[in-house]
Amino acid sequence: MNDQSGVDSANLRDQTWVVTGAAGTIGTRLVADLAGRVNRLVATDLAAPDAPYGVESVAADLRDQDAVAAVLAGAHGVVHLGGIADEADLHDLAEVNLVGTYHVLEEARRAGARRVVYASSNRVTGCYPCDVTVHPSMPPRPDGLYGAVKVAAEGLCQLYADKFGLATVAVRIGSYEERPLDLRQLSTWLSPADCSRAFRAAMSATDVGYACFYAVSANTRGWWSLEPGAALGFLPQDDAEEFAATVPDAARTMRGPQGGDYAAPEYTLSRQRR
């Protein structure tokens, strides 16, 4: 596939990048990591986020297409982290996570941006059983409405790559924590350092039209293929197994769906308005 992005790691310092959802846990750390790595960095969220010196901070609602357009003006690329971060009522998820992602993609296209890095989720495949190694090319099996909307947003990313030539990378984020907290996270953990590695790779990889990979640490008990990320230059360094002695029930083998409790019917039903 020919490179559609025009993005090169050597040239990131000459470029303008926007990070949506910059006030979130991952966004805050990623903005701090990227500060100084790019020429101009814009951090945006519903309220203007706190940002390091030299980083522009702007308030914008993803539901407001004009506001998104204003923030993306002049951008070479966007790291789109913004949105509702867990299971919620479908109407809210569709409005913020799906329509909001459309606004980012469409305004990136109009602005002449070269790449959108989309924060997807491991929950797009959470109904696969734990004894299956999942590759991003396999059919989605979301564990809830949150995951289903992420699947739809990945579809938008694919569309904008295929139809409009906008390079897009869907990053399926694992369980982002300082250290794994439970049995499931021994398989799904994403360390902060590996998270930064994943997004920097997604921003700078060449030969990208549309790509999708799991952002997860190199966990001994991992469930997801790391090959697509490696092809983009993402080489995780950490392993949840180093913390197994501190994790309750670590001697057990997890069974059932990879989503664990997220895949339970009540987890979705209790969050719907009716």
- Given the residues 146, 176, 214, 262, the one annotated as active site: 146
Residue type, 168: T
3-state SS record for the chain: CCCCCCCCHHHHHHCEEEEECCCCHHHHHHHHHHCCCCCEEEEEECCCCCCCCCCEEEECCCCCHHHHHHHHCCCCEEEECCCCCCCCCHHHHHHHHHHHHHHHHHHHHHHCCCEEEEEEEHHHHCCCECCCCECCCCCCCCCCHHHHHHHHHHHHHHHHHHHHCCEEEEEEECEECCCCCCCCHHHHEECHHHHHHHHHHHHHCCCCCEEEEEECCCCCCCCECCHHHHHCCCCCCCCHHHHHHHCCCCCCCCCCECCHHHHCHHHHHCCCCC
Q: CA 197, 202, 205: angle at the middle one, nearest 5?
A: 105
Q: Please confirm, yes or no, whether 146 is among the known catalytic residues.
A: yes
Q: In this structure, what token pair is assigned to residue 165?
A: 């030539």
The residues carrying an active-site annotation are 146
